[in-house]
Amino acid sequence: MRLFASLFCTFLLSAAPAFGQTQLAATPPMGWNSWNHFANHVTDADVRSAADELVSTGMRDAGYVYVNVDDTWQGERDAQGVLHTNDRFPDMKALADYVHSKGLKFGIYSGPGEKTCGGYAGSLGHEAQDAKMYAAWGVDFLKYDLCSFQDNMHKVEAEHPNDPEAANKLMIAAYRKMGDALKATGRPIVYSLCQYGVDQPWKWGPGLGANMWRTTDDINDSYGRMIAIGFSQAGLSKYAGPGHWNDPDMLEIGNGKMSYDEYKTHMSLWVILAAPLLAGNDLSKMTDADKSLLMNKDAIAIDQDSLGKQGDRLYESGDLDVWTKPLSGGRVAVGLFNRSWSVRDVSVDLAAIGFRSGGNVRDVWEKKDLGHRSGNVVRRLPKHGAALLIVSR
Ligand code: GLA
Residue with the nearest Cα to atom 3 of ligand 1?
A: 218
pLDDT digits (tens, 9 = 90+) for 289-321: 999 999 999 999 999 999 999 999 999 999 999
Question: How many CB atoms are located within 10 Å of the residue 318 CB?
Answer: 8
How far is residue 151's CA from residue 126's CA, in Å, rounded to a whole number? 18
Residue with the nearest Cα to atom 9 of ligand 1?
A: 218
| 50, containing H or E segment | helix 44-56
- Kindly state if the Cβ of 294 falls inside 6 Å of ligand 1: no
| Nearest partner of 38 among 84, 4, 89, 83, judged by Cα | 89
Point out the ligand 1 atom lying closest to the alpha carbon of residue 116.
12
99 — pLDDT class (breaks 50, 70, 90): very high
Q: Is 211 exposed, middle or buried, given 0-12, 13-18 or 19+ CB atoms closer than 10 A? A: buried
pLDDT digits (tens, 9 = 90+) for 339-361: 999 999 999 999 999 999 999 99
- Kindly state if the Cβ of 70 falls inside 6 Å of ligand 1: yes
Q: What are the DSSP calls for 184-239, one per residue?
A: HHTS--EEEEESTTTT-HHHHTGGGT-SEEE-SS---SSHHHHHHHHHTTTT-GGG
10 — pLDDT class (breaks 50, 70, 90): very low
pLDDT digits (tens, 9 = 90+) for 224-283: 999 999 999 999 999 999 999 999 999 999 999 999 999 999 999 999 999 999 999 999
Lowest mean pLDDT, pick from 21-25, 76-80, 296-300, 313-317: 21-25
How far is residue 128's CA from residue 138's CA, in Å, rounded to a whole number? 15
SS3 per-residue string spanning 89-119: CCCHHHHHHHHHHCCCEEEEEECCCCECCCC
How remote is the CA of residue 313 from the centroid of ligand 1, in Å?
Answer: 28
- Kindly state if the Cβ of 298 falls inside 6 Å of ligand 1: no
| 349, containing H or E segment | strand 344-349
Rounded to whole angstroms, the maximal C-alpha distance in the chain is 71
Task: Output the pLDDT for position 5.
Answer: 44
Q: Is 173 exposed, middle or buried, given 0-12, 13-18 or 19+ CB atoms closer than 10 A? A: exposed
How remote is the CA of residue 145 from the centroid of ligand 1, in Å?
Answer: 7
17 — pLDDT class (breaks 50, 70, 90): low
pLDDT digits (tens, 9 = 90+) for 139-176: 999 999 999 999 999 999 999 999 999 999 999 999 99
Q: Tell me which residues are annotated as active site.
A: 145, 218
| Nearest partner of 209 among 65, 13, 69, judged by Cα | 13
Point out the ligand 1 atom lying closest to the alpha carbon of residue 39.
6
Q: Cβ(373)–Cβ(350) under 8 Å?
A: yes
